[in-house]
Structure 1
Amino acid sequence: MSETGPYDLITMGRVGVDLYPLQPGVPLAEVETFGKFLGGSPANVAVAAARLGRRTALISRTGADPFGDYVRRALRDFGVDDRWVTPVPAHPTPLTFCEIFPPDDFPLYFYRRPKAPDLEIHTTELDLDAIRAARIFWVTGTGLCEEPSRSATLAALAARAKRGTTVLDLDWRPLFWGGEGGASGDGGRTGAAAMATARPYYAAALAHATVAVGNADECEVATGEREPLAAAWALLDAGVELAVVKQGPKGVLAVHRDGTTAEVPPVEIEVLNGLGAGDAFGGALCDGLLSGLSLAVSLRYANAAGALVASRLSCSSAMPTRSEIEGLLGSG
Structure 2
Amino acid sequence: MPPYDLVTLGRVGVDLYPEQVGVGLAEVRTFAKYLGGSATNVAVAAARQGLRSAVVTGVGDDPLGGFVRGELRGFGVDDRFVVTVPGAQTPVVLCEIFPPDDFPLYFYRPDAPDMRLRVPDLDAEALRAARVVWITGSGLSAEPSRTTTLATVADRAEGADTVFDLDWRPMFWSAPEEAPGWYARALEHATIAVGNRDEVEVAVGTRDPDEAADRLLARGLRLAVVKQGPHGVLARTATEEVRVPPIPVEVVNGLGAGDAFGGTLVAGLLAGLPLSRTIELANAAGALVASRHSCADAMPTPGELDALIGGAYGGVLAGSTASGTAAPDNHHDNGGPR
Q: Flag whether TM exceeds 0.5 (same fold).
A: yes
Distance 1:91 1:223 in 2: 35
* Counterpart Cα distance in 2 of 1:161 and 1:206: 16
Which 4+ runs in 1 deviate beyond 6 A? Answer: none
* 1:86 equivalenced with 2:83 (yes/no): yes
Shift of 1:133: 1.0
1:186 aligned partner: none
Which residue pairs with 1:51 in the alignment?
48
Give yes or no for the alignment of 1:153 onto 2:149. yes
Contact 1:145 1:176 in 2 (8 A): yes
Q: What amino acid does structure 2 have at the position aligned with 1:150?
A: R
Unaligned runs of 5+ in 1: 179-192
Aligned residue number for residue 41 of structure 1: 38
1:47 shift after superposition: 0.3
Q: What residue identity is the alignment partner of 1:220? A: E
**Is the 8 Å Cα contact of residues 17 and 94 (structure 2) preserved in structure 1?**
yes
Does structure 1 retain, via aligned residues, the 8 Å contact 2:292–2:298? yes
Q: CA deviation at 1:254?
A: 0.8
Residue 297 in structure 1 maps to residue 277 in structure 2? yes
Task: Tell me the SS of whatever aligns to 1:233.
Answer: helix
Q: Tell me if the contact between 2:60 and 2:90 (Cα under 8 Å) persists in the aligned partners.
A: yes
| Matching residue within 258, 273, 296 for 2:253 | 273
- Let me know the Cα RMSD of the aligned residues: 1.0
Q: Which of 104, 108, 113 matches 1:107?
A: 104
Letter in 2 for 1:306: G
Aligned mates of 2:208, 2:270 — CA distance in 1:
29
Q: Which residue of 2 aligns with 1:327?
A: 307
AA paired with 1:244? V
Give the structure-2-normalised TM-score: 0.91
Q: Specify the code of the residue in structure 2 equivalent to 1:72.
A: R
Deviations 1:300-327, CA, capped at 9 Å, x for gaps: 1001011110000000000001100000
**CA separation in 2, counterparts of 1:227 and 1:13?**
27
The higher-RCO structure (CA 8 Å, 6+ apart) is: 2
Q: 2:26 and 2:218 mapped to 1: Cα distance?
A: 46
1:243 is matched with 224
How much has 1:25 moved relative to structure 2?
0.7
C-alpha separation in 1, matches of 2:287 and 2:43: 18
- Aligned 8 A contact 2:140 2:149 in 1: yes
Distance across 2 between alignment mates of 1:33 and 1:239: 48
Letter in 1 for 2:10: G
Aligned 8 A contact 1:162 1:209 in 2: no
Identity across matched positions, percent: 61
For the 8 Å contact 2:46–2:264, the answer to whether it is kept is yes
- Contact 1:142 1:173 (C-alpha < 8 Å) held by counterparts: yes
Aligned twin of 1:7: 4
| Cα distance in 2 for residues equivalent to 1:237 and 1:204 | 14
Q: Quote how far apart the aligned CAs of 1:26 are.
A: 1.2
Deviation at 1:162, TM superposition (A): 5.4
Shift of 1:238: 2.3
Inter-partner Cα distance in structure 1 for 2:41 and 2:200: 21
User: Which residue of structure 2 lines up, in the alignment, with residue 311 of structure 1?
Assistant: 291
1:222 corresponds to which of 203, 206, 223: 203
CA contact (8 A) 1:132 1:163 kept: no
Structure 2 unaligned runs (5+)? Answer: 313-338
Shift of 1:104: 0.4
Equivalent in the alignment of 1:288: 268
